[in-house]
A and B are shown apart, each in its own frame.
Chain A
Amino acid sequence: MTTMISIRSLKKHFFIHDGFLSRNTKTVKAVDGVSLDIDHGEILGLVGESGCGKTTLGRMSINLIEPTSGEVFFDRVNILKLDKQSLNKLRPKMQIIFQDPFSSLNPRFTVERIIGEAMMVHGLADKSNLRSKITEIMQKVGLPNSFMNRYPHEFSGGQRQRIGIARALSLSPRYLVCDEPVSALDVSIQAQIINLLQELQEKENITILFISHDLNVVKHLSHRTAVMYLGQIVETAPTEILNKDAAHPYTRALLAAKPSTNPKKTNNHVSLSGDVPSPLNPPSGCHFHTRCPEAMDRCKTEKPTTLELAKEHTVKCHLYN
């Protein structure tokens, strides 16, 4: 398999001013040196708690947020170095589905316009065949044709998310960022959308970066999983291996914290103490050492490097040195 997306030491730092006239600035290192590869036709799950930088990373991977430093290659093209024109030409190939289907659709546009607008802008359809193309895409995501002239407020959350997916698919993308696409939906609807994404991915062989905080969903859907903590990727592994033999203490804690739906199987409550530290002032050394049950002295001072445990299984932890 060949690499579709290749991210190299990507960083995004946000600067926060202390006060209106103050010269003090603080830095939030939202994403701090992330390198990641996604293969053609692969679903990579990206998990982590809120504020760990997973959304920022996802958006940078399609150049929606400009990184502070680093490189992003889309099919061997560095998309951060492209001029505006060539970037716009590439845009249809990379699309995003947003978390909140209630705020990501323009309430004053009809479904037809929401789905069709991008195709018109990119010249993928003209007035004569726009309607038939929209019909085709709506069928693909399971929306009846009669919805075409209706407005977003008339739909339920699941239907709106389908509209969002239709909009992303209208440009036949090859890389799709799904930013928590099901976390705002009810369980029964969630399953419908997961099935839809899985079907579409199999049929069209789209490469997907699936961002979520729900480990069950990521486990079900993704081929490989990356775990993020405070702006850094602490572990990546094929999903099956990650769930069986998680190496990083943080991954293990995440897996243990997720409540099992089997009442007989009580969780081995090794829940983490404390909160995620503020990204304004992350701990020294390994960012996780303040909450880590296995922290050693060197974790407080020395930053761990990324180690390869097995094929495709990398971890950032001093335990494995």
Chain B
Amino acid sequence: MPTTTPLLQIENLTTSFQTNDSAVQAVRGVSLHVNHAEILAIVGESGCGKSVTALSILRLIPIPPGRFESGEIKFNNQDLLNLSEADMQKVRGNDISMIFQEPMTSLNPIFTIGDQIGEAIIQHQNTTKGETRKQTLELLYKVSIASPEIRIDQYPHELSGGMKQRVMIAIAIACRPSLLIADEPTTALDVTIQAQILNLLSSLKQESEMSILLITHNLGIVAQFADRVTVMYSGKIVEEASVDSLFESPMHPYTRGLLNSLPKEDNKSKLESIPGSVPHPAYLPQGCAFHPRCKDAMPRCQKQPPLSNLKKESTHKVACWLYEECVKEVR
């Protein structure tokens, strides 16, 4: 464990949504931390709660129907869940900012690119019009948009998908945040553009030492760009490790299943798939949510396994009864 306090520390976060019949928990007791100048990836399939975790950090969950049932989100030692709305507004876009999945729909079609980037700057810094424009141009240059002097006065429909995502990144880094949340930043983009955007993000990270919380379902992106990774399944973290450790020795049967279901580099044999599908969050199985699909399931799995360290000195954590023996030794 690093001695310095992490930039962001989430403890036991539970976020639920009220439906007609009952409250459905989308995030169920998630604890994680993001260190300074680190890229933490959250991977998982759709509906596993990775986006809700991210939106909870910025308190962008509509309340009601959403509700934070328990937990705290500590950012620079202040609990974001206890801040007033006005104080929270100062954090959003300034200390923590976010890039969304769909660059096509997250820009306002009736304002120019310059207006939208400038808005973020004016909101948090008292700058004059001329200064704002100067900073906006610098930002466009920084995110490698060709001929920024022309682009600044254009509207979103005049830009391609990759350029829109660059503009989104420019808005997000306008106030030099210390944490950038990227929610599937490249899912809507083509592979060659995806590589450009990811290269841009990692060079920005290196320059300004900001931390990135990268949410994705693409394990290739995780392997290439993240430092640490947490795997989520049905609202819970099932495994947490450094990227090297996770891809070298995945522990949780779900993580193994995910890695096995990817087409291999030099193997044409049948893919190993995980049978069944993700359970509906309102009808979760008892205990470990993965056990109905797990080939190593045992009677114990009716009870929820805790997320614990595998070895002393190690930061590889897993929530599975298979490793109970190792975990006991650590304690």
A and B interact = yes
A interface, CB within 8 angstroms of B = 49-50, 156, 158-159, 186-192, 194-195, 198, 213, 215-217, 219-221, 253-254, 256-264, 266-267, 269, 271-276
User: Contacts A156-B278, A186-B45 hold; do A262 and B247 have CB atoms under 8 A apart?
Assistant: yes
User: Contacts A187-B219, A187-B262 hold; do A263 and B243 have CB atoms under 8 A apart?
Assistant: yes
Q: Which residues of B contact A263 (CB under 8 A)?
A: 223-224, 243-244, 247
Contact of B277 among A159, A195, A253 (CB under 8 A): A159
User: Contacts A189-B277, A261-B262, A263-B243 hold; do A276 and B223 have CB atoms under 8 A apart?
Assistant: no
A264 and B278 form a contact (CB under 8 A): no
Nearest-neighbour CB distance to chain B for A255, whole angstroms, equals 9
Instruction: Give the most central of A156, A158, A191, A267: most B CB within 10 Å.
Output: A191
Q: Which residues of A contact B272 (CB under 8 A)?
A: 191
Contact of A49 among B191, B221, B260 (CB under 8 A): B191
B268 within 8 A of A: yes
Give 3 nearest A-B pairs by CB, closest first: A259-B220, A191-B261, A220-B263
B160 within 8 A of A: yes
Nearest-neighbour CB distance to chain B for A186, whole angstroms, equals 4
B273 within 8 A of A: yes
A188 and B45 form a contact (CB under 8 A): yes
A267 and B195 form a contact (CB under 8 A): yes
B190 and A188 form a contact (CB under 8 A): no
Nearest-neighbour CB distance to chain A for B265, whole angstroms, equals 8
Task: For the complex, give the distance between the alpha carbons of A195 and B261 in Å.
Answer: 10
A261 and B259 form a contact (CB under 8 A): yes
Q: B246: nearest residue on chain A (CB-CB)? A: A263
Contact of A188 among B193, B247, B274 (CB under 8 A): B274
Nearest-neighbour CB distance to chain B for A155, whole angstroms, equals 9
User: Contacts A188-B274, A275-B160 hold; do A266 and B224 have CB atoms under 8 A apart?
Assistant: yes
B191 and A258 form a contact (CB under 8 A): yes
> Which B263-281 residues have a C-beta within 8 angstroms of A?
263-265, 268, 270-275, 277-278
B192 and A271 form a contact (CB under 8 A): yes
B302 within 8 A of A: no
B273 and A191 form a contact (CB under 8 A): yes
Nearest-neighbour CB distance to chain B for A235, whole angstroms, equals 15
Task: For the complex, give the distance between the alpha carbons of A315 and B234 in Å.
Answer: 47
Contact of B244 among A192, A215, A261, A264 (CB under 8 A): A264
B208 within 8 A of A: no
Nearest-neighbour CB distance to chain A for B163, whole angstroms, equals 7
B71 within 8 A of A: no
Q: A219: nearest residue on chain B (CB-CB)? A: B263
Q: Which residues of A contact B265 (CB under 8 A)?
A: 260, 262
B258 within 8 A of A: yes
| 26 CB < 8 A contacts A-B | A49-B190, A49-B193, A158-B277, A159-B277, A186-B45, A187-B45, A187-B219, A188-B45, A188-B258, A188-B261, A188-B273, A188-B274, A191-B274, A192-B274, A198-B270, A220-B263, A254-B191, A258-B191, A258-B220, A261-B219, A261-B247, A263-B247, A273-B196, A275-B193, A276-B160, A276-B190
Q: How large is the interface on B (under 10, 10 to 19, 20 to 34, 35 or more residues)?
A: 35 or more
Task: For the complex, give the distance between the alpha carbons of A188 and B275 in Å.
Answer: 8
Q: Which residues of A contact B196 (CB under 8 A)?
A: 271-273
Q: Which residues of A contact B193 (CB under 8 A)?
A: 49, 275
Q: Which residues of A contact B199 (CB under 8 A)?
A: 269, 271
Q: Which residues of B contact A192 (CB under 8 A)?
A: 273-275
Q: Which residues of B contact A258 (CB under 8 A)?
A: 191, 220
Q: A192: nearest residue on chain B (CB-CB)? A: B273
Q: Which residues of B contact A253 (CB under 8 A)?
A: 192
- With A198-B270, A257-B191, A259-B220 given, can you name 10 additional A-B contacts, CB distance below 8 Å? A156-B277, A188-B257, A189-B277, A191-B260, A191-B274, A195-B271, A261-B259, A263-B243, A267-B224, A269-B199
Nearest-neighbour CB distance to chain B for A85, whole angstroms, equals 42
Q: Which residues of B contact A254 (CB under 8 A)?
A: 191-192
Task: For the complex, give the distance between the alpha carbons of A264 and B277 in Å.
Answer: 31
Task: For the complex, give the distance between the alpha carbons of A192 and B272 in Å.
Answer: 8
A186 and B217 form a contact (CB under 8 A): yes
Task: For the complex, give the distance between the alpha carbons of A156 and B234 in Å.
Answer: 15
Task: For the complex, give the distance between the alpha carbons of A267 and B243 in Å.
Answer: 16
B218 within 8 A of A: yes
Nearest-neighbour CB distance to chain A for B232, whole angstroms, equals 12
Task: For the complex, give the distance between the alpha carbons of A194 and B273 in Å.
Answer: 9
B103 within 8 A of A: no
Contact of A50 among B163, B190, B220, B258 (CB under 8 A): B190
Nearest-neighbour CB distance to chain A for B187, whole angstroms, equals 10
Q: Which residues of B contact A187 (CB under 8 A)?
A: 45, 217, 219, 258, 261-262
B46 within 8 A of A: yes
Task: For the complex, give the distance between the alpha carbons of A194 and B46 in Å.
Answer: 19
Task: For the complex, give the distance between the alpha carbons of A271 and B191 in Å.
Answer: 9
